[in-house]
């Protein structure tokens, strides 16, 4: 492809805005639906049919639920939605994983399907299922307009990587939403902030991770390995939270209010707190549609532990068709159970920095499991982190540390609420004119730097494309 998806989005957006604000209110959802399909078709020209199928399927299932409400047939629409959606997700994302596992265990030679993964299928599958479930539970009204429902399913601002938008959260906004200059301006600021996080921070710190992760573990030093995984931690945070910011900002531009997806997770003082701050839309989805229906914490501690184990096994598996993601989910499930049983009470009594150090060590070890599909490479990297590599530090590791230290400091500051608090303090002391000027300079500067980097830079990965 000539352009990255992010570059294409920036080129694509002006045309969407022009048409969207030119049509009357009744036609705005149709514009969003059409342009969202065009955006998806640019990246996945074949699988746009799959998205249209999912739209028609769940729209029909919602009507079936409503048609048979109060009768023994009410579950028909729900069951069709859940089984077909999960079946599609399983087929495209996990078939080769299970074929490969069977081949490895039994020495079979079943050929792999080698199907390309539809972009964003893990996200929009959960969204479409949430519609039917919400209608079944009576938490949302059936959507009568298939175009409006199609706009919800395919909504391009958050189509590729979330946040996962549950139907009940924006059901009213699909039919009635407000547009204003203030909301448009807030959306632009949020979008540009996310663009800067992704392009200027994630991409640049990602270069360090790319260099270190491709180095043979036998040649790595302990300092080099820790530096690498810290770089990955910042890359994945600014990559994913930056895209979420862009999606939330675009949502505001088009009149929607999406829920937040990140809340400064790296300031957490426990793993439990970390997962209340990281990818909050996914955590909320699993809580409301898996954990609570299984009984949550209402049926005693053994059942609660079972439910946590199930949720985290599924969370790991949701992230990818590879055993390292399963192990990553199990790792966090064990930590969360351990905190629930023993550690949280002690952490609350300990100084805050103790909890923060423990949490960041756990998160960084977890990122090693997440980053390496190959178990051998992952465990070799962990061994180096624990002192089993080519010494403690090398000239190359020191050079990398000194070269990237200013960027690392910026990433540390940007991953905390420090700048937000400074802005709020400025807001209370400065006049509107000063703030407007400062905001304008900031937005124009970030936009110019980000666009310049996109034009000149060749390194522009997006880590959550594969999910």
Which of 179, 279, 319, 356 is labelled catalytic?
319
Q: Are residues 86 and 14 in the same domain?
A: yes
Q: Are residues 269 and 158 in the same domain?
A: no
**Average pLDDT, integer, range 51-74:** 92
Q: Are residues 276 and 205 in the same domain?
A: yes
Q: Are residues 303 and 441 in the same domain?
A: yes
Q: Are residues 364 and 227 in the same domain?
A: yes
**Average pLDDT, integer, range 239-251:** 93
Q: Are residues 63 and 191 in the same domain?
A: no
Cα separation of 378 and 213, whole Å? 10
Measured CA angle at 251 (ends 289, 266), to 5 deg: 65
Q: Are residues 130 and 84 in the same domain?
A: yes
Cα separation of 31 and 351, whole Å? 54
Q: Are residues 161 and 259 in the same domain?
A: no
**Residue at which a domain ends, from 142, 177, 212:** 177
Kindly give, in sequence order, each residue whose CB lies less than 8 Å from that of residue 13, ignoring residues fewer than 6 positions away.
250
Q: Are residues 219 and 139 in the same domain?
A: no
**Residue at which a domain ends, from 127, 153, 177:** 177
Asked if pLDDT for residue 161 goes beyond 90, the answer is: no
Active site residue 319: yes
Cα separation of 306 and 321, whole Å? 23
Asked if pLDDT for residue 61 goes beyond 90, the answer is: yes
DSSP secondary structure code for residue 26 in this structure:
G
pLDDT in tens, 270-286: 999 999 999 999 999 99
Cα separation of 265 and 267, whole Å? 5
Kindly give, in sequence order, each residue whose CB lies less than 8 Å from that of residue 37, ignoring residues fewer than 6 positions away.
48, 51, 52, 154
Placement of tokens 């639906």 in the chain:
33
Answer whether 228's CB lies under 8 Å from 396's CB: no
Measured CA angle at 266 (ends 261, 267), to 5 deg: 105
**Residue at which a domain ends, from 120, 148, 177:** 177
Q: Are residues 197 and 154 in the same domain?
A: no
DSSP secondary structure code for residue 321 in this structure:
S
- Segments forming the whole domain that contains residue 441: 182-466
Q: Are residues 170 and 259 in the same domain?
A: no
Asked if pLDDT for residue 299 goes beyond 80, the answer is: yes
pLDDT in tens, 346-361: 999 999 999 999 999 9
pLDDT in tens, 89-145: 999 999 999 999 999 999 989 999 988 888 888 888 898 999 999 999 999 999 999
Q: Are residues 81 and 211 in the same domain?
A: no
Residue 3 pLDDT grade (very low, low, confident, very high; cuts 50, 70, 90): very low
In this predicted structure, what is the pLDDT of residue 151?
A: 93
What is the 3-state composition of the chain as percent helix, strand, coil, each rounded to the nearest 5? 75, 0, 25
Token code pair at residue 399: 């050079």
User: Per the structure, how many domains does the chain have?
Assistant: 2
Instruction: Give the chain's mean pLDDT.
Output: 90
């Amino acid at each position: 492809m000539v352009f990255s998806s992010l570059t294409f989005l920036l080129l694509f957006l002006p045309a969407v805005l022009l048409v969207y604000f030119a049509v009357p209110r009744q036609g705005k959802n149709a514009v969003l639906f059409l342009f969202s399909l065009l955006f998806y078709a640019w990246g996945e020209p074949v699988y746009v049919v799959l998205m249209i199928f999912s739209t028609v399927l769940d729209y029909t299932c919602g009507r079936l639920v409503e048609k048979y409400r109060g009768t023994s047939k009410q579950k028909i629409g729900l069951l069709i939605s859940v089984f077909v959606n999960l079946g599609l997700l399983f087929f495209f994302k996990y078939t080769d994983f299970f074929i490969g596992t069977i081949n490895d265990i039994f020495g079979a030679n079943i050929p792999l399907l080698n199907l390309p993964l539809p972009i964003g299928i893990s996200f929009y599958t959960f969204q479409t299922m949430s519609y039917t479930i919400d209608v079944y539970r009576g938490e949302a009204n059936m959507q009568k307009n298939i175009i409006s429902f199609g706009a919800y399913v395919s909504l391009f601002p958050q189509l590729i990587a979330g946040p996962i938008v549950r139907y009940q959260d924006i059901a009213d906004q699909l039919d009635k939403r407000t547009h204003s200059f203030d909301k448009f301006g807030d959306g632009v600021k949020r979008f540009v902030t996310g663009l800067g996080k992704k392009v200027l921070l994630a991409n640049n710190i990602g270069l360090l991770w790319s260099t270190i992760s491709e180095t043979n573990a036998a040649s790595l030093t302990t300092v080099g390995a820790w530096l690498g995984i810290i770089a990955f931690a910042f890359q994945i945070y600014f990559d994913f939270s930056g895209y979420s910011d862009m999606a939330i900002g675009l949502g505001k531009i088009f009149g929607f209010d999406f829920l937040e997806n990140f809340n400064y997770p790296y300031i957490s003082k426990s793993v439990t707190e970390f997962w209340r701050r990281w990818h909050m839309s996914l955590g909320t989805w699993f809580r409301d549609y898996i954990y609570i229906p299984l009984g949550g914490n209402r049926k005693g501690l053994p059942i609660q532990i079972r439910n946590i184990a199930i949720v985290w096994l599924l969370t790991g598996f949701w992230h990818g068709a590879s055993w390292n993601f399963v192990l990553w989910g199990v790792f966090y499930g064990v930590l969360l159970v351990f905190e629930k049983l023993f550690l949280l009470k002690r952490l609350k009594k300990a100084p805050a920095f103790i909890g923060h150090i423990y949490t960041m060590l756990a998160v960084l070890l977890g990122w090693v499991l997440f980053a390496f599909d190959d178990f051998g490479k992952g465990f070799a990297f962990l061994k180096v982190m624990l002192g089993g590599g080519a010494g403690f530090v090398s000239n190359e590791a020191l050079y990398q540390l000194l070269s990237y230290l200013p960027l690392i400091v910026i990433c540390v500051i940007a991953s905390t609420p420090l700048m937000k608090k400074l802005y709020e303090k400025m807001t209370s002391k400065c006049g509107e004119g000063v703030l407007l000027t400062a905001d304008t300079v900031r937005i124009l500067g970030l936009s110019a730097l980000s666009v310049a980097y996109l034009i000149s830079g060749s390194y522009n990965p997006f880590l959550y494309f594969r999910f």
